[in-house]
Amino acid sequence: MSEATAVATEPAAGYAWAHRDLLGLDDLSADDIRHVLRTAEGFESVSGRSVKKVPALRGRVVVNLFFEDSTRTRASFNLAASRLSADVLEMTGKGSSTSKGESLTDTARNIEAMGVDAIVCRHHLSGAAVQLAKSVGVSVINAGDGQHEHPTQGLLDIYTIAKRFERRGAYDLSGLRVGIVGDVAHSRVARSNVHGLTKLGAEVVVIGPPTLTPRGFEAMGCTVAHDLDAVLPELDVINMLRVQHERMSGPAFPSVREYVVGYGLSEERVARAKPGLLVMHPGPLNRGVEIVSRVADGDQSAILEQVSHGLSIRMAALFLCVLSGGG
């Protein structure tokens, strides 16, 4: 290892992680983001050993509080907490639409009173995690709130890009152009990605029909485009957002056929892109809509890597926030 590498992979002198909660990448500095990614690097080896557990959070309790359906994110957080030796309590939130704000706070305070150390929260309302963090004294990790942010997804996407392009260590993504394609307007994955990627120096282009890619995104430091084929040859990474079926009937959404023609990732499109184009998708896939199977399962796809990196990222997020919370 050269000295230059050794220096660049260490946190800057005087740097210390100072966040009890992980609510969004908008709230984090570039140094914070690098610190989570480097910490996740240390956790990656845990998944490859015979004993897939470290005692770091032994005796701590993590609650998975999900107000919205989720299989993989919930499972990923559960496994991440288990690998840190924490105990995990699974809860599914319910409540009438009018009393949700109130019931969220009440539910959280009740959970806190049981003596937990962290609450992992998913909610269909934007800002739910922020509100939760204000009402409790324990760590809150946002596992997706409405259309606001999904920070661990953003971090695992960035980690996947940094690993494939050998930018780990310094985590400087300058010179890389990342396209995010689809229903950007309603996507918390897109928001977290844009915040995180631009902070680390990447160029981000969000691409989709005008109704789904508002100009307002340019204020976040990315560019907006509507013609995928025009932008595609310049991209190093393409992140295909999931088409959400419940939105397809809405007036803002073109027909499925029209969407596939304009924005679906086909083999022909990949052939016209840079040879090393990295293909990503946050899952679950709509095969044949935003992405065809041969591309999703091909050599350039990092979709399954994203899933395994999600574990290391979530271990890092839980570890850093819980330790920082004191407890």
Q: Tokens 């709509």 map to which residue?
A: 286
The backbone torsions φ and ψ at residue 159, rounded to the nearest 5 degrees and listed phi first, read: -60, -45
- Does position 44 interact with another protein (CB under 8 A)? The reply is yes
Closer to another protein by CB, 104 or 118: give it.
118
239 HSE (CA, 13 A, CB side): 27
Q: How far is the CB of 16 from another protein (least distance, A)?
A: 5
Q: Which of 13, 14, 49, 275 binds another protein (CB under 8 A)?
A: 49
Span interacting with another protein, options 11-19, 127-135, 149-157, 237-245, rule CB under 8 A: 11-19
- CA dist 158 and 204 (Å) reads 12
Q: How far is the CB of 19 from another protein (least distance, A)?
A: 8
Q: Which of 29, 45, 99, 293 binds another protein (CB under 8 A)?
A: 45
Residue 1 exposed, middle or buried by CB count within 10 Å (0-12, 13-18, 19+)? exposed
Fill in the DSSP letter of residue 12.
Answer: P
Q: Which of 61, 88, 185, 316 binds another protein (CB under 8 A)?
A: 316
Q: How far is the CB of 118 from another protein (least distance, A)?
A: 14
- Does position 308 interact with another protein (CB under 8 A)? The reply is no
- Does position 166 interact with another protein (CB under 8 A)? The reply is no
Provide the 3-class DSSP secondary structure of residue 309: helix
Closer to another protein by CB, 56 or 248: give it.
56
Closer to another protein by CB, 16 or 114: give it.
16
User: Which residues make Cβ contacts (< 8 Å) with residue 174, sequence separation at least 6?
Assistant: 201, 202
Alpha helices in 165-266 (DSSP H): 188-199, 228-231, 245-248, 256-263
Six-digit token string for 278: 């990295």
Span interacting with another protein, options 43-51, 141-149, 170-178, 237-245, rule CB under 8 A: 43-51
Q: Which of 4, 6, 12, 252 binds another protein (CB under 8 A)?
A: 6
